Amino acid sequence: MSMTKAEKEKPVIRVTDVTKNYRLYRRQRDRLWESLGLDFKKNYKEKHALNGVSFEVSKGETVGIIGTNGSGKSTMLKLITGVLTPTSGTIEVEGRISALLELGAGFNMEYTGIENIYLNGTMIGFTKEEIDLRLQSIIDFADIGDYINQPVKSYSSGMFVRLAFAVAINIDPEILIVDEALSVGDVFFQSKCYRKFEEFKQDGKTILFVSHDLSAISRYCDRAILLNQGDKVYEGTPKEAIDIYKKVLVDQFHKGSGTADAAKAEGGLAASGQRGEKLWKAQFPVNPSLVEYGEKNAEIIDYGLYDEKGLPSSNFIKGTQFTVKMRIRARETVLEPIFAFTIKNLKGIEICGTNTTMEKVPVETMHDGDEHVVTFTQKIDLQGGEYLLSLGCTGYQDGMFRVFHRLYDVISLTVVSSRDTVGFYDMNSTCVLDPEE
């Protein structure tokens, strides 16, 4: 049944000027003494998780919340679901909620899968008869075979997550609230989860979800909310939210500037990283666990990623151009060095890459103190998802192949896509169907 205009515009979630503060105590006993009224000194620091946030979600809308770690996303979902209480402000919710926040939090490890289905259903408020009606759908969705009759403590982590997700998503809620849960399980189970997500949208259910998967935000959301350090800095189209989020990730967003700071950042590719200016790599969240090795006869001293506008970014819209830059300094004489980059998926499989030799760009011998900047520009047709960038400087000395410097998995990059095909790479196929005459 289609909804009337009035029903669509009716808010089912209303968040008004919500603030959430936490007290961080130096010692556990300080918390105890204060709770007993025995300590009159302030022995804690206040952390502001959310600062006066307001927004509404209408019936049938799909709204995404994005932001860096610690921005208040998960706290907001816990407040809406009643897990937490706001320090100030109000939250109003109309409709039955299913929340996929901490999957399996209410499971008893000694119970079988079937017993845990009934346990969780009862906790949500269903009668045994109502759970009976949903039981087969939950079993089919989890698809863990005979393990459904075994104690949950015998499950692998994958089976545990599948069952927990199946229970949470098959109770026919009016409002679905999800915190990163769509990335659980293997690729086949993820596909099933996304199909269920599509069904929810088609049925006119309200969905509010947090995700670091910008492709999912772009693909499924009608609107997006960007939180940064507890503040709501943007609410509107997913594309605009993602564009501003990209600035937040590289510390180029200034509160209150919205998209107006784009003009200030223009020319970032041309100007950034020159002598006396901020290093390119300082604008990116560099992997603290990157693998680095090499003789360092020549060293990669700086690097960066840039979008089609020349702005530093690690998030790219599929089908647009992006640039990899690196600066190399020689520590001694190196003969005709080779500069390279590769992109791998999160499983470590090399997806694509190139180097100066493959691109037929000869590099002359470098001497101690010499510097070169190499720029690789290309169209990104990878499927939407998360990838890792590696950089290298190699060459030949005395007829032997030598590794001067390699940086593996130095920066993560995200490809945002509204259309994915099979495999790692999109061939940009076109398809025409001619009716048979």
CA–CA dist 368, 429 (Å, integer): 49
The verdict on residue 436 lying in a domain is no
Please name which of 149, 155, 159 lies closest in space to residue 112, comparing C-alpha atoms.
149
CATH code where residue 80 lies: 3.40.50.300
What's the longest Cα–Cα distance across the chain? 89
Q: Which residues contact 412 (CB under 8 A, 6 or more apart)?
A: 285, 287, 314, 386, 387, 388, 389
In a domain, 258, yes or no: no
Q: Where are the beta strands (DSSP E) in 398-436?
A: 400-416
Q: Are the CB atoms for 328 and 371 separated by under 8 Å?
A: yes
Is the predicted pLDDT of residue 262 greater than 50, yes or no?
no
Query: For residue 126, what are the β-bridge partners?
Result: none
Read off the pLDDT of each residue in 235-244 and give the average, rounded to a whole number: 86
CB 400 within 8 A of CB 380: no
Among 249, 277, 300, residue at a domain's last position: 249
Indicate if 208 and 296 belong to the same structural domain: no
- Neighbouring-strand partners of residue 327: 302, 373
Q: What's the pLDDT score for residue 203?
A: 87
Q: Give the SS3 label for residue 17.
A: strand
Residue 363 belongs to a domain: yes
Residue span of the structural domain in which 230 resides: 5-96+173-249
Q: Residue 181 has what pLDDT? A: 58
Residue 116 lies in a domain: no
Residue 109 lies inside a defined structural domain of this protein: no
Question: In this structure, is residue 159 part of a structural domain?
Answer: no
DSSP bridge pairs for 405? 393
The string of pLDDT tens digits covering residues 157-211 is 788 888 888 887 787 788 888 886 555 566 677 777 777 878 888 888 899 988 8
Q: Residues 334, 410: one domain?
A: yes
Contact between 222 and 76 (Cβ < 8 Å):
no
* Dihedral over Cα of 305, 306, 307, 311: its sign: positive
Are residues 215 and 279 both part of a single domain? no
Reduce the DSSP state of residue 170 to 3 states and report it. Answer: coil
**E strands in 59-187:** 62-66, 88-93, 97-100, 175-179
Overall domain count for the chain: 2
pLDDT tens, residue by residue, 318-357:
999 999 999 999 999 999 999 999 999 887 788 999 999 9
| Average confidence score pLDDT of the chain | 83
What is the total residue count of the chain?
Answer: 437
Same domain as 303, residue 198? no
Domain assignment present for residue 232? The answer is yes
pTM, 2 dp? 0.60
Both 243 and 294 in one domain: the answer is: no
Task: Specify the 3-state DSSP secondary structure of 82.
Answer: coil
- The token duo for 160 is 């545990």
Pairing of strands 206-210, 350-355: unpaired
Q: Which burial class, exposed, middle or buried, applies to 84 when counting CB atoms under 10 A from its CB (0-12, 13-18, 19+)? A: middle
The pLDDT assigned to 164 comes to: 83
Least confident range of 87-101, 260-274, 341-355, 373-387: 260-274
Contact 393, 299 (CB under 8 A): yes
Instruction: Place 255 in a pLDDT band, splitting at 50, 70 and 90.
Output: low
Edge-to-edge strand list for the sheet holding 62-66: 97-100, 175-179, 206-210, 62-66, 223-228, 231-236
Whether 378 and 318 map to the same domain: the answer is yes
319-349 CB burial, b ≥16 within 10 A, e <16? eeebbbbbbbbbbeebeebbbbbbbbeeeee
Based on its alpha-carbon atoms, the radius of gyration of the chain, rounded to whole angstroms, reads 26
Contact 345, 412 (CB under 8 A): no
Where residue 391 sits, what CATH number does that domain have? 2.70.50.60
Q: What is the mean pLDDT of residues 135-158?
A: 91
| 399 and 283 part of one domain | yes
Asked if residue 202 and residue 59 are part of one domain, the reply reads yes
Whether residues 409 and 330 share a domain: the answer is yes
Residues 62 and 200 in one domain: yes
Does residue 279 share a domain with residue 210? no
Q: How sure is the predictor about 379, in pLDDT bands with cuts at 50, 70 and 90?
A: very high
Average pLDDT over residues 120-136: 86
Q: Are residues 193 and 300 in the same domain?
A: no
Q: How far apart are CA 168 and CA 124, in angstroms?
A: 9
CA 277-281-285 angle, to 5 degrees, is: 130
Which residue type occupies 171? I
Q: Specify if 431 maps to a domain.
A: no
| Whole-number percent of the chain with pLDDT over 90 | 46
DSSP for residue 282: G
Residue 370 has pLDDT above 70, yes or no: yes
Is the pLDDT at 407 greater than 60? The verdict is yes
